[in-house]
Chains A and B, each alone.
Chain A
C-alpha cells in the first residue's frame, strides 16, 4: 500500500476546494455547515447534520430513497446541491413526528404494514406527504403514479398504497374534510 506524503500544515487550507456556508431551515431549525460547492444535499443532511434517516439507494435519481421536502416540494436530495438549499426550508423524515405524536403517514405505514426493511420508507413517506398536501382524497391509481419515482424492493407497493390511503383518511378527519 502506498501512502500519501503528509501535507504541510500551511498548505492544508489551500489544497482543498473552497468551502461555502450553507444555512437552511431544517425541520424548523436553522442549521449551518460549510461545504464544497459540489456537496449534494443528501450528504449535507446525512454527514454534516447527522440526519441519517434520509437514505441513498442509487446514483441516477431513480430510487427516491433520498426524497426530502424542499420548500414543501418532494425532491431527490441526491440530485440537488447543498448550496441550492441555502436559505430554504428542508424537511426530512426526522421532522415528521411533532411533540411525540406521529404524523398520519408514519401511523399509516405502521398500521398497514407499509414497510419491511425500512430503507425506502423515509423517501416513500416524504413523497407521500408532499402528494397528500395537494390531494386529500386520492384514488389507488393516483397514489401509484405519485410514488412511481420511489422504488421499494420488499413490499410490492400494495401495503404502501394502503398506508397512504390510511394517512389521507386520518388527515381528512383531522382537517374536517378539507384539503390538507
Chain B
C-alpha cells in the first residue's frame, strides 16, 4: 500500500493554494491598528565623522512623530549590538559612519510617505575621513585603523588556518608540476525579491511580537532577549511567508532593532520595510574572497597537495553568519572530490569601509568559494598537463569504495560515487562528440568551450560537538500531534522561504505515519508554538528537521503499536508496522490503520497508558551530509562582441534519497540560475571613495528569463548512510557547483589564446578585451 503523498512522489505543493491567489501573508501585508511607519536616513559617505544631526525640520514635517538617533539609543546601551561572530555592529552611529548607505537616523511617521518626507528633512553634517576599500591595503602597515574601538589596533579581524602547513609545503616542493592562480570571487548580494522588514508591536501586558523576515526565528528571539534584556517569554517572533531568503534573512539588521525601540517609545506598532536600494546597499553581502591557490601533482596527473591563501573582506564588522567555531565557514571543504594527501588553508579577514556581511548567497557557509577554487584549479592543472579535464578528474576522484572518507582537512565525507555522476553527465551531453566538434571549430578559428565541475558539498549543519551559533547547538526539531480523527499537525524549528516545506515535510510524515499528506498540516515560524530549532539555511532543513520528523513519527509509532495491539487483542510484540499499517504477525487480515489507532488514543486507550498521540524530537545529526554532482557546460563565444552563449548545461545531482522529485528539480533550476547570475552578471563594486557601483536593480543585474539557460537535469542516488531517510539536502548544490563549470567552459574556449583564468562575473566586456588584445576582435 502506498500512501498519498508519500516519499518519492512529485506531489503538487500544498502552499501554492494561497500564493496563486495572492493570499500569501508576507511581512509587508501585516497591518495593525494605529501602526506607524519607520524610514531610515542613510550615509552618503563611506567613512565620515558625524558633526551634527539636525532634526528640527524633520519634526515639523506633517505626519512625522519622532526621530531616533544613535545618542537616543546609547542611553539604553543599544547603539551597538553584537554580531553572530563575536564582533559588534552599530544600530545607529554616535560618532562615525563606516560605509555608504549605513543607517544614520530613523524617522517614525503616520504613513510611509510622511516617513520618507521626514528622512529627506533630516540634516546631517559630515566630516569625511580616509576611506579604505581594498582589503589588501587595509592589511598593510600604516593603513588607517578603521575600528579604534577594538583592543587590537589592526584591520586584521582574525587569522585562521587548518591543515598540515609543513607537510603541504614539502609536498608542493616534491611535486613534478605546480599550478598557481589568483581567483577573486567578488562581492554579490542575494537580492531575494522580497526585501527585509518587520512589524514590531507591544501588547498591554508588555509582550513584544515581531513579524519579521527571518530564516531563524528562534535564534532571533534568543538574541533579542540577550541584547535587549527582555524576558524571552515576553518575545514572540513570527516569520510569516518569506519571499526568498538565500542567507540574506539570517542576520539581525539595525532596522529590526530600531523598529522595536520605536514601538516601545511610541506605544504604537511600527512597520519597517526596506526598499531595494537599501537592501542591496546595506544588508549582508556574500563572497568577497581573494584566493591564491596552488596545486601540486605528478607529471602523469596524480593530485598531491593543495595550498590556499585567502583574504576575506568583511566590511566594517564581522557580521557573517557562520557556526561559531568556523570563522571562514566550511571553506576547508576545499579539497573537494579529490584525495589530496596534504592540504593547508589560511584565511585573513580584513575590515574595510563597506557594509558588513559574509553570508551565504544560497550556499552552506563558504562552500561555493571552496568548490569554485578546487574545480577551477583542477581544470587549470589539466590544461597545463595537456590532459582532458574529465580524464584528470576520473583519475583522481575519491574512490566510491573508500567512503566514509576522511579528508586531509578533517571532514568525514559520508558517501559518494563521483565517477558515476561525471560519467552520466558526459553521456547525457555527448562529451566525446563535443570535443571532436571543438577541434573542428578551433581549426576554423571559432571559440567553443566545454567546462566540467565535479563538486562536493557539505551541508546539514550540524553535529552538536562542533556546530553552534552563539553557543546554541545546531539541532533541529519536529513536534507532531495526531488528532482523534487521524488528521495531524506538525510544527518545526525551521522556516521555509520557498523551499516547499509544507509539502516535503508532510510527505515524510505521510510515509512514516501511514496518513495522507493532505491530512497533515505543517506549521513553522512562530516561536510561541513551534519547537526550538536553528532555522533554514545551509541546506539544513531536510538533513536536520526532516530527520527530526522521522524520529518523532517513529516515537508515535512506538506508542501507536501498543494501542493497535490493544485493539487487535494481541501482544505488542506480535504486532508489526507493515505497508503503512499495524498488522498481527502471520495474520495479514488482522490490521489497524493509524486513523484507527488515533481515534482509540482519545477514546479507547489501554488502561494505564496516557491518552493522546503526540511526540517531539530534537535531532542532533551524527555527521554532516555531502551531496555532490557533476555539471558540464558548453559555451560558444561571439568573437565580435565577446558575448558568451551557454549552448547547453547538463547538471547531474546526487542529494541521496529524494522526497519530492518535482520540488528537488525546482530547487536545482533555481540554484543553477543563481550560480549563472554570479558567474555572468552580478557584482557589487566600490570606487576608491567607497561609492557603491551596483546598488539597485538598474545596475545590479539579476538574470531574466531571456538570459537564463535552458537547464538539463539528471540524478544519481547515493543515500546518506546516517540520515534516517538517506536524504542529504539539495537547495544550494547547483549554486555551489555551477560557477566553476561556466568559467571552465569559457577559459577552455579561450585557452588557445593562452588564457588560464578570468574572474567572475564573465561579462562580454572582459571577454572582448581579451579577444581584442590578442587581435581576434
A residues adjacent to B (C-beta < 8 A): 1-5, 7, 15-17, 36, 38-39, 43, 46-47, 50-60, 62-63, 65, 92-94, 96-97, 102, 106, 109-111, 113, 115-122, 125, 140, 143-145, 147-161
Query: Is the pair B244, A55 in contact by a Cβ cutoff of 8 Å?
Result: no
11 residue pairs of the A-B complex, CB under 8 angstroms, read A4-B65, A52-B29, A57-B193, A111-B12, A113-B665, A116-B666, A117-B242, A121-B19, A152-B705, A154-B670, A159-B669
Closest to B24 in A: A118
Q: Can you name 6 extra interface pairs (CB under 8 A) apart from A60-B276, A153-B674, A156-B672?
A: A53-B21, A56-B273, A59-B276, A118-B243, A148-B705, A155-B673
Query: Is the pair B696, A55 in contact by a Cβ cutoff of 8 Å?
Result: no
Give the complex CA separation of A59 and B280 in angstroms.
12
Query: Is the pair B669, A119 in contact by a Cβ cutoff of 8 Å?
Result: no
Does B126 count as interface, using CB distance less than 8 angstroms? no
Q: How far is the CB of A127 from chain B (nearest CB, A)?
A: 11
Q: How far is the CB of B661 from chain A (nearest CB, A)?
A: 10
Does B80 count as interface, using CB distance less than 8 angstroms? no
Contacts of B708 in A (CB 8 A): 144, 156-158
Contacts of B243 in A (CB 8 A): 55, 57, 117-120
Query: Is the pair A117, B498 in contact by a Cβ cutoff of 8 Å?
Result: yes
Does B607 count as interface, using CB distance less than 8 angstroms? no
Looking at the complex, which one of A56, A120, A140, A143 makes contact with B28 (CB distance below 8 Å)? A56
Query: Is the pair B22, A60 in contact by a Cβ cutoff of 8 Å?
Result: no
Contacts of A2 in B (CB 8 A): 55, 59, 66-67, 69, 72
Identify the 7 closest CB pairs spanning chains A and B, nearest first. Answer: A53-B22, A117-B498, A119-B243, A118-B19, A93-B22, A156-B669, A116-B498
Q: How far is the CB of B659 from chain A (nearest CB, A)?
A: 14
B515-551 interface code vs A (CB 8 A; 1 in, 0 out): 0000000000000000000000000000000000000
Contacts of B244 in A (CB 8 A): 116-117, 119, 153-154
Contacts of B273 in A (CB 8 A): 56
Does B62 count as interface, using CB distance less than 8 angstroms? yes
B residues adjacent to A (C-beta < 8 A): 12-13, 15-24, 26, 28-29, 31, 55, 59-60, 62-69, 72, 112-113, 190-195, 241-244, 246, 261-262, 265, 273, 275-277, 497-500, 662-663, 665-667, 669-674, 696-698, 702, 704-706, 708, 710-711
Query: Is the pair A159, B666 in contact by a Cβ cutoff of 8 Å?
Result: yes
Query: Is the pair B22, A63 in contact by a Cβ cutoff of 8 Å?
Result: no
Closest to A107 in B: B20
Contacts of B72 in A (CB 8 A): 1-2
Query: Is the pair A59, B55 in contact by a Cβ cutoff of 8 Å?
Result: no
Looking at the complex, which one of B67, B275, B697 makes contact with A1 (CB distance below 8 Å)? B67
Give the complex CA separation of A175 and B21 in angstroms.
23
Contacts of A158 in B (CB 8 A): 669, 708, 710-711
Query: Is the pair A1, B66 in contact by a Cβ cutoff of 8 Å?
Result: yes
Contacts of A54 in B (CB 8 A): 22
Query: Is the pair B21, A63 in contact by a Cβ cutoff of 8 Å?
Result: no
Contacts of A53 in B (CB 8 A): 21-24
Contacts of B193 in A (CB 8 A): 55, 57, 63, 65, 117, 119-120, 151-153
Looking at the complex, which one of B20, B195, B666 makes contact with A125 (CB distance below 8 Å)? B20
Give the complex CA separation of A12 and B666 in angstroms.
53
Give the complex CA separation of A129 and B682 in angstroms.
30
Looking at the complex, which one of B28, B113, B276 makes contact with A58 (CB distance below 8 Å)? B276
Max chain A C-beta neighbours (<10 A), residue from B12, B26, B665, B704: B704
Contacts of A17 in B (CB 8 A): 62
Give the complex CA separation of A2 and B710 in angstroms.
55
Query: Is the pair A60, B697 in contact by a Cβ cutoff of 8 Å?
Result: yes
Contacts of A119 in B (CB 8 A): 24, 26, 192-194, 243-244, 498
Give the complex CA separation of A117 and B24 in angstroms.
9
Contacts of B15 in A (CB 8 A): 118
Query: Is the pair A3, B697 in contact by a Cβ cutoff of 8 Å?
Result: no
Contacts of B55 in A (CB 8 A): 2
Give the complex CA separation of A33 and B686 in angstroms.
44
Contacts of B65 in A (CB 8 A): 3-4
Max chain B C-beta neighbours (<10 A), residue from A52, A53, A156: A156
Contacts of B68 in A (CB 8 A): 1
Query: Is the pair B500, A116 in contact by a Cβ cutoff of 8 Å?
Result: yes
Query: Is the pair B698, A60 in contact by a Cβ cutoff of 8 Å?
Result: yes
Closest to A119 in B: B243
Max chain A C-beta neighbours (<10 A), residue from B65, B192, B243, B662: B243
Contacts of A50 in B (CB 8 A): 31
Give the complex CA separation of A15 and B241 in angstroms.
37
Give the complex CA separation of A96 and B246 in angstroms.
30
Closest to A126 in B: B22
Q: How far is the CB of A94 from chain B (nearest CB, A)?
A: 5
Question: If A57-B194, A93-B22 touch, does A151 touch B697 (CB 8 Å cutoff)?
Answer: yes
Query: Is the pair B705, A161 in contact by a Cβ cutoff of 8 Å?
Result: yes
Query: Is the pair B705, A147 in contact by a Cβ cutoff of 8 Å?
Result: yes
Looking at the complex, which one of B22, B63, B242, B666 makes contact with A51 (CB distance below 8 Å)? B22
